[in-house]
Amino acid sequence: MAILRVAVAAPVYSIFDYLPPVGCDLSQLHCGVRVRVPFGRGERCGVLLQVASESPLQSNRLKRVLEILDDQALFSAEDIALLRWAADYYRYPPGEVFASALPARLRKGTKDKRGACSGWRLTPPGGAVDPDELNRAPRQAELMKLLSHSPEGMTQQDIVLNCGSCTSVLRKLEQRGWLEQIEIRAGNDAHPVSITEAAPDLNEDQRKAVDKVVAGLAGFGVFLLDGVTGSGKTEVYLELVKKVGAQGGQTLVLVPEIGLTPQLLQRFRRRLQLSISVLHSSLAEGEREQAWQRARLGVSRVVIGTRSSVFVPMPDLRLILVDEEHDLSFKQQDGFRYSARDVAVFRALRCKCPVVLGSATPSLESLKNALDGRYLHLRLPARAGGATPPKIELLDIRSAQLEAGVSPVLMSLLETELGAGNQVLLFLNRRGYAPILTCHDCGWLAQCERCDARMTVHLSDNQLSCHHCGAQYPMRRCCPECGGEALRTLGQGTERLEEMLKMRYPHVGMVRIDRDATRHKGSLERLLKEIKEGKHALLLGTQMLAKGHHFPQVTLVGILDLDQALFGADFRAAERMAQLIVQVAGRAGRAVKPGRVLIQTRHPDHPLLQTLLGSSYADFASESLRERRLALLPPFSFQVLLRAEANQKEAALKFLEECVELGGTMNAAGVESWGPVSAPMEKRAGRYRFQLLLQSDKRSVLQGFLAEWVPRIAILRSARWVRWSVDVDPQEIL
């Protein structure tokens, strides 16, 4: 008898047994195909994990699979093992884990599994045009040149990656009859981009790092590539990808947020003669599916993607790279709360291939693994190409008269740099105009009705908005308490900083980069390109500016307001802040011009700032590790956070209390628990939030406990009235 074991896309913790459909040819059936099954009163999609010969249930109680949706497996045995491990480790329903690893259309059970997406190709008349003759239309020439290298055409996505957003130019070329729009199907466009750039000769440290990884290509190994910003980590990646590509292997490159790293993508495109798939959240569904299929079919040799790409099937995977491995965005913060970095390490172990974790500011977790000898520590201590590291200084602003957050000292330094024709970067990690709106007469504060939080003033669209639940109201003209009109804003966000600077320096090119200013697709790329071209002398923005970009002309970086991060509630606050400072600082003086970094603070004696200044990130990290060891905090212990939220406080609390009680009846030796306590922001989006923290010094002990506990709390009566979630290895205690 054949029993089909299926991960059904539903919020339940088990795998379900079914009988094969009537007339199903079992010899043609592969694990890893999608199936349609009856479930409850309806139907669901699922993935076939296993064909077994018996079931704990009697066969007359088993239902039949309704339909097999694929001829060929979408997931290999390796993929299935990885996803099952992830479902187990993060305690998330397996069917939903599998569903989340599929592109949306396939997830819904659509049968045709080959995605198509839109692209462009030269027409015969277009093929006869010499791009060099188009010197009056450089953008058109650029596109014509690009497409002349790909006679079969290129996806719109690939074109944009090479040339930036260019839809209107494409349309113009179409009108001239030189280009036509086509559909490109998965697997059709295996042609790499042919614009190439020469690679620099690697320096000795880079060479050593490459050699070490290459020597380990035959098996599993974790390498921590610990290199200061600008030390040439990306060059190391490129060299490794080339090596692996030459051996016929695929490489997976995980990056924090692709929208933020168009430059990295372009560099990969131009330097590698390999077909690349790109996967990230702002792709259209068709493009996404196509990229996924190309990776799965082995057509693309390199997959560059954000977090969820860690699950993309890749038959010839031989190397995984995780860039900026410390970055918080690798951890999914809702639903299936996996860490893509940690999954990458497990995936490499299963695939018996190396994984390289790269960062200028490695996480304490990874550093500890390196110290323990589990990861091989590769160091790139100096900037490549001879650039000098920036000088970091503190600016005591305790008695300074600030103007939109900028002190007079910083202002005059800024003027000097602008006068010398250099670029200046001002970093303020708060978007909007001002974080507080208050009434001068009665002291009223604009508070979100649904959160324990203040509303942020956004003047550009004249709104009050809550950055926690997304609530928005029109800007108030008078006080709702006393009716007075003396409303004042307090503090500053990037909008206000921009306003002040524009007033002071009306003739200076200025650009603001934050989530509001880059909301439209392609706008970030455009702004970054303008910066690179030297259009703007003053760059201001939030942490979006801190990540991965190259601004060679920047000689001065001002960090305006980090003081609140010095006293964060989360024990990781110091680590995050140190990483941010070092990353922002890394934007300065990356080329020949030396850079200077000024941190404005009211706490110049704070030990964290002093360690960072007096020494290096490495010293800061070893000091923090020492503190964590004494306090028995991660990475010297392992944590799990059980969160619960409900419209009524009592409901959330009651659920968590019952969970504690249940745990008490189980074997919980070696697992400590704290709580329930209220979350740092107790009320959010109208719900009350509480949490329970579990901790153990052994991962396996905690995992053993969860395996039994989670399925049991899932069926508690009190669970029905709350939204709850299990967060294994939580990164933020929000």
Binding site for ligand ADP (CB under 6 A): 200-203, 206, 227, 229-235, 384-385
C-beta of 205 vs 514, nearer to ligand ADP: 205
Q: Considering the rule CB under 5 A, would residue 467 count as an interface residue with Zn ion?
A: no
298: alpha, beta or left? (left if phi > 0; alpha if psi -120 to 50):
left
650 binds, among ligand ADP, Zn ion, none (CB under 5 to 8 A by kind): none
C-beta of 5 vs 450, nearer to Zn ion: 450
| Positive or negative: CA dihedral 706, 708, 709, 714 | positive
3-state secondary structure of 107: helix
Q: How far is the CB of 248 from Zn ion (least distance, A)?
A: 52
Q: How far is the CB of 723 from Zn ion (least distance, A)?
A: 17
Q: Considering the rule CB under 5 A, would residue 451 count as an interface residue with Zn ion?
A: yes
Q: Considering the rule CB under 5 A, would residue 682 count as an interface residue with Zn ion?
A: no
CB 394, CB 609: distance < 8 Å: yes
- Cross-strand partners of 512: 540
231 binds, among ligand ADP, Zn ion, none (CB under 5 to 8 A by kind): ligand ADP
122 binds, among Zn ion, ligand ADP, none (CB under 5 to 8 A by kind): none
Q: How far is the CB of 481 from Zn ion (least distance, A)?
A: 4
* Alpha-carbon 161 to chain mean position: 19
Task: In whole angstroms, give the CA distance from residue 483 to residue 637.
Answer: 54
468 binds, among Zn ion, ligand ADP, none (CB under 5 to 8 A by kind): Zn ion
Residue 216 tokens read as 């380990």
C-beta of 234 vs 456, nearer to ligand ADP: 234
Q: How far is the CB of 228 from ligand ADP (least distance, A)?
A: 7
Residue 223 tokens read as 């390498």
User: Whose structure tokens read 């602008």?
Assistant: 418
In sequence order, which ranges of 307-339 are alpha helices (DSSP H)?
none
Q: How far is the CB of 625 from ligand ADP (least distance, A)?
A: 23
CB 454, CB 448: distance < 8 Å: yes
What single-letter DSSP state applies at residue 722?
S
Pairing of strands 34-39, 42-52: antiparallel
C-beta of 453 vs 719, nearer to Zn ion: 453
Task: In whole angstroms, give the CA distance from residue 496 to residue 489.
Answer: 10
Pairing of strands 638-646, 687-696: antiparallel
Q: Considering the rule CB under 5 A, would residue 481 count as an interface residue with Zn ion?
A: yes
Q: What angle do CA 452, 453, 458 make, to 5 degrees?
A: 155
Binding mask 643-662 for Zn ion (x = CB under 5 A): --------------------
Q: How far is the CB of 687 from Zn ion (least distance, A)?
A: 11
Q: Considering the rule CB under 5 A, would residue 444 count as an interface residue with Zn ion?
A: yes
Q: Containing H/E element for 50?
A: strand 42-52
Q: Which of 118, 79, 119 is nearest to 102 (CA)?
A: 79
Q: Which of 439, 537, 539, 577 binds Zn ion (CB under 5 A)?
A: 439
- Cross-strand partners of 677: 691
Q: Considering the rule CB under 5 A, would residue 734 count as an interface residue with Zn ion?
A: no
Task: In whole angstroms, give the CA distance from residue 632 to residue 263.
Answer: 40
C-beta of 272 vs 295, nearer to ligand ADP: 272
Q: Considering the rule CB under 5 A, would residue 681 count as an interface residue with Zn ion?
A: no
C-beta of 286 vs 552, nearer to ligand ADP: 552
Task: In whole angstroms, give the CA distance from residue 208 to residue 222.
Answer: 15
Q: Considering the rule CB under 5 A, would residue 587 count as an interface residue with Zn ion?
A: no
Q: Which of 652, 698, 691 is nearest to 674 (CA)?
A: 691
Q: How far is the CB of 436 from ligand ADP (least distance, A)?
A: 37
494 binds, among ligand ADP, Zn ion, none (CB under 5 to 8 A by kind): none
Q: Which of 328, 471, 475, 719 binds Zn ion (CB under 5 A)?
A: 471
Q: Considering the rule CB under 5 A, would residue 436 count as an interface residue with Zn ion?
A: no
E-strand ranges in 568-686 read 596-601, 638-646, 672-684
Among the listed ranges 109-117, 360-368, 413-421, 444-452, the one in contact with Zn ion (CB under 5 A) is 444-452
Among the listed ranges 467-475, 533-541, 553-561, 665-673, the one in contact with Zn ion (CB under 5 A) is 467-475
Task: In whole angstroms, give the CA distance from residue 137 to residue 139.
Answer: 6
Pairing of strands 116-122, 154-155: antiparallel
Q: How far is the CB of 206 from ligand ADP (least distance, A)?
A: 6
234 binds, among Zn ion, ligand ADP, none (CB under 5 to 8 A by kind): ligand ADP
Q: Considering the rule CB under 5 A, would residue 468 count as an interface residue with Zn ion?
A: yes
469 binds, among Zn ion, ligand ADP, none (CB under 5 to 8 A by kind): Zn ion
439 binds, among ligand ADP, Zn ion, none (CB under 5 to 8 A by kind): Zn ion
Residue 733 tokens read as 């205690």
Q: Considering the rule CB under 5 A, would residue 571 count as an interface residue with Zn ion?
A: no
C-beta of 357 vs 434, nearer to Zn ion: 434
Task: In whole angstroms, give the CA distance from residue 164 to residue 212.
Answer: 36
Task: In whole angstroms, give the CA distance from residue 596 to residue 38.
Answer: 64
Q: Considering the rule CB under 5 A, would residue 397 count as an interface residue with Zn ion?
A: no
CB 575, CB 731: distance < 8 Å: no
Q: Considering the rule CB under 5 A, would residue 466 count as an interface residue with Zn ion?
A: yes
| Binding residues vs Zn ion (CB under 5 A) | 439, 441-442, 444, 448, 450-451, 466, 468-469, 471, 479, 481-482, 484
